[in-house]
Amino acid sequence: MRGIGVLLRRPGCPSPASASTLSSRRLWFSSTRSTHCPHQTQVTQQQQGEDVLKVSKKRQAEDKWKLPDSPCRTRFAPSPTGYLHLGSLRTALFNYLLARATGGQFILRIEDTDQTRLVHDAEKRLFEDLRWAGLSWDEGPDVEGPYGPYRQSERLSLYDEHANQLIREGKAYRCFCSPEDLERHKQAAHESGESTAYPGTCRNVSQEESDDRASRGEKYAVRFKSSDKPIIIEDILYTRYRKREPEEDFIIRKRDGFPTYHFANIVDDRAMKITHVIRGAEWLISTPKHVELYNAFGWEPPKFAHVGLLVDKERQKLSKRHQGVDMSWYKYNNIPPEALLNFAVLLGWSQKSGEPDFMTLQDMIDRFSFKFSKGDIVVSFDKLPYLHEKHFEHLIHQEPPNLPRVHRYLVNPIIDRFVDVEMARVETPEAALEEATVHNIPLKSLASPVPQMAEPSASAQEYMLHALRTSKSVKPDLELFLSQNRYAIWTIPDSVLSQNFDETPSLKHATLDGEAATPSVVMRFIVEQLSDLVSSKGEEGSAEEKQAETEEWTAEKIKPMVDSMVKAVSVSDPETGEPIKGAGGYKFLRWALLAGDHGPGLVSVMELLGRKETMKRLVTAYKVALDKEKDKKHGRIGSVAEEVAAGGITLALFDLFP
Ligand code: GLU
């Protein structure tokens, strides 16, 4: 294989109507000072009172959003009944951010009490996906910690102890009703239009009878004696929340010996010293149960924040059938995890106005607050490509570079695509080459790869990062990057150079230092100017030569030379004869170095290509121009030899690039 190596009334101007409604608010204001208003001559006390009120409300709101000053312990408590998805990742992220922003701890707890719905590889995948996303936990099943174990199935005795405590204290009772009895009651209640809630059949079983039946091995569940009035709970977003109906006597321990989610959840949140619970709004209706349990134990509940549910534009809950819900979709689409976190954090949380949407994980930690929005969050994926591009930009220009990530999300995917094209270029028969296109690159427009890309080595990765840094922007579409930068990666066939010369008539209407000049004269001037740039080279291929090439062939050194050189050249419109604005020399350089392709700045391209490849392209362009000017009957070699013999060009270059 030939050379294969290897992504919307101003403040102080209330309407007269609103001013009259404000008399009772004067109390807010004691000063008689008035402020000049350009729209209504003077601002009244009422108006100023309104301002004070506004400021006060704003401050109240800000206080509500403020994070506590003390370290928060938060947890992400997934059930291994499914994989991580956009909604659960967002919940994990909010909890992670609260812990990190306050210097607290983020805990991972596996809530596997519903043994009938376990998905065999869900736990493993949860770990992998959270790690991939970059959300590290301080305590969890695999890292342990002071309040473990962190898998609920390993904490059954703790739940038993607590259920027994509630039974002993008369706050819970054993329920011996069979599932069939319960189902029969439900059906009958449903048919007669009555409440299907548990009727409390076993509430009145005496303690002795209960103990006796239990000791004889009769199967039972444990039910909590709920209060007969709905209780009020507090929530950071909803402030105070109360359900219309009281809770039924809900089960806290199932007949199979496992605790219910509600029970294990509160026992663990208490045992693990969780201070804040941020979770989806679907859990809001369960929270009164939780708070009743906390009250029964005499424990203070953690602070709750129930964040809006993610819905689609039709207000349907986001589910598996929606694209962009599974983590695998993000992986498949080569979206860096930080871009996904950035996208997720903006779903129902907002930062101070004026802050940019682009955020690194550290920015999210630094800016995090309780400024959540209530109600459903309509997810639009429109912002994702923008964030994707911004995170690419961040990865490319980060110093020092995060090499594993740059390689994983940019360099390696581009190299993979490069290999696709290169394989096809090498293997496609000559006759089919004319029509063949791979990743939107016509194969006939390519010659062999540049030497830096010829080997499947670290240097190809390094070269590709340099190419990425040279590029003005890198869109999520890495194939676009490849095609727009094809001549940073492959060399240019003479036929393409020749054709682009024919398609760029202004090249034939140039002046050099004010005098009309043929394209070859201009190219010769360019070659000569640049050939002096690297002074000592040592032996070809020697370490000394390589060092001179990298140290002396830098954008900083090339730029002044190119600036003065390109100004000496101007080109004019072949039809109007008007000079084309901008330094004409750039036209020649773009033709010679990139076959006229638009793209990055030419000085950066020259630095990227290196001295040797740059000079080689300039000399080749010179030869092509000369050929065009000579009698076509003479071959190119002959013409160049003639010119060289006339002493027109640095001979050494022709030795290098015969
Ligand atoms: N295990 C519950 C879930 O799967 C946790 C809910 C909560 O955070 O309390 O979402």
Same-domain check for residues 541 and 570: yes
- Give the model confidence (pLDDT) of 101-114 as tens digits: 999 999 999 999 98
pLDDT at 639: 46
Please check the confidence at residue 319 and state whether its pLDDT lies above 70: yes
Residues 445 and 527 grouped into a single domain:
no
Q: Are residues 479 and 536 in the same domain?
A: no
What pLDDT was estimated at residue 50? 61
Read off the pLDDT band of 38 (50, 70, 90): very low
Tell me the pLDDT band of 600, cut-offs 50, 70 and 90: confident
Q: What pLDDT digit, counting tens, does each position of 548-599 carry?
A: 777 788 999 999 999 988 889 999 887 887 888 777 899 999 999 999 999 8
pLDDT at 536 over 70: no
Query: Does the pLDDT of residue 231 top 70, yes or no?
Result: yes
Q: 529 and 450 share a domain?
A: no
Each residue's pLDDT tens digit, 163-184: 999 999 999 999 999 999 999 9
Pair (433, 526) in one structural domain:
no
Given this model, what pLDDT does residue 551 score? 75
Query: For position 268, which CATH number holds?
Result: 3.40.50.620
Q: Which of 75, 106, 275, 283 to mutate to test the pocket of ligand 1 (most atoms within 8 A of CB)?
A: 283
Establish if 595 belongs to a structural domain.
Answer: yes
Verify whether ligand 1 is closer than 6 Å to residue 79 (CB atom).
Answer: yes
User: Is residue 160 domain-shared with residue 303, that is, in the same domain?
Assistant: yes
- Is the separation of the CB atoms in 582 and 525 below 8 Å? no
Residues 482 and 509 in one domain: no
Residue 48 within a domain: no
Pick from 433, 459, 489: which residue ends a domain? 489
pLDDT at 395 over 70: yes
pLDDT confidence of residue 57: 67
- Tell me, yes or no, whether 611 lies in a domain: yes
Same domain, 544 and 478: no
Q: Is residue 136 part of a domain?
A: no
Give the CATH number for residue 549.
Answer: 1.10.10.350
Tell me what the mean pLDDT of segment 50-63 comes to: 65
Mean pLDDT over residues 443-459, rounded? 90
Which domain-ending residue is among 307, 328, 347? 307
In terms of domains, do 159 and 215 share one? Answer: yes
Residue 288 in domain? yes
How far away, in angstroms, is 77 Cα from ligand 1 center? 5
| Start-to-end CA span in the chain (Å) | 25
Ligand 1 proximity of 87 Cβ (cutoff 6 Å): no
In the 8-state DSSP scheme, what is residue 357?
A: S
Query: Which residue segment(s) compose the domain that 274 sits in?
Result: 155-307
Q: What pLDDT does 502 receive?
A: 94
268 lines ligand 1 (CB under 6 A): no
CA–centroid distance, residue 78 to ligand 1 (Å): 5
Q: What is the mean pLDDT of residues 423-427?
A: 95
> What tens digit of pLDDT does each residue of 115-132 get?
889 999 999 999 999 999
Q: Look at residue 24 and tell me whether its pLDDT is greater than 60.
A: no
Last residue of a domain, one of 273, 307, 341: 307
**Mean pLDDT across 345-354:** 91
Measure the CA–CA gap between 35 and 10, rounded to whole angstroms: 13
Spell out where 508-628 has E strands.
Answer: 510-512, 515-517, 569-571
How many domains does the structure of the chain reveal? 4
Q: Which of 142-151, 541-550, 638-647 has the lowest mean pLDDT?
A: 638-647
CB under 8 Å, gap of 24 or more: what pairs does 464-469 form?
464/410, 464/411, 464/414, 464/415, 465/396, 465/401, 465/406, 465/410, 465/411, 466/608, 467/608, 468/396, 468/406, 468/410, 468/411, 468/414, 469/396, 469/397
What is the enclosing helix (H) or strand (E) of 97? helix 86-102
pLDDT category of residue 22 using cuts at 50, 70 and 90: very low
Q: Are residues 652 and 507 in the same domain?
A: yes
Q: Which atom of ligand 1 is nearest to the CA of 111?
A: 1
650 located within any domain = yes
User: Which of 58, 66, 219, 320 does the annotation list as catalytic?
Assistant: 320
DSSP tag of 390:
H
Mean pLDDT, the chain, integer? 86
Q: What is the C-alpha to C-alpha distance for residues 484 and 464, in angstroms, rounded to an integer?
A: 14
Residue ID of nearest Cα to ligand 1 atom 5: 77
Is residue 619 situated within a structural domain? yes
Whether residue 516 is found in the same domain as residue 594: yes
Task: Kindly tell me if the per-residue pLDDT of 224 is higher than 90.
Answer: yes
581 a catalytic residue: no
Q: Which residue has the tokens 């940073």?
A: 488
If asked whether residues 504 and 643 sit together in one domain, one would say yes
| 27 occurs within a structural domain | yes
Distance, CA of 571 to CA of 411 (rounded, Å): 38
For residue 287 and ligand 1, the question of a CB distance below 6 A is answered with no
Q: Is 279 in the pocket of ligand 1 (CB under 6 A)?
A: yes
Atom of ligand 1 nearest to the CA of 75: 8
Question: Is 373 or 38 the better-scoring residue by pLDDT?
Answer: 373
Q: How confident is the model at residue 454 (pLDDT cuts 50, 70, 90)?
A: confident
- pLDDT at position 352 over 60: yes
Instruction: Give the pLDDT confidence score for residue 599 in this predicted structure.
Output: 82
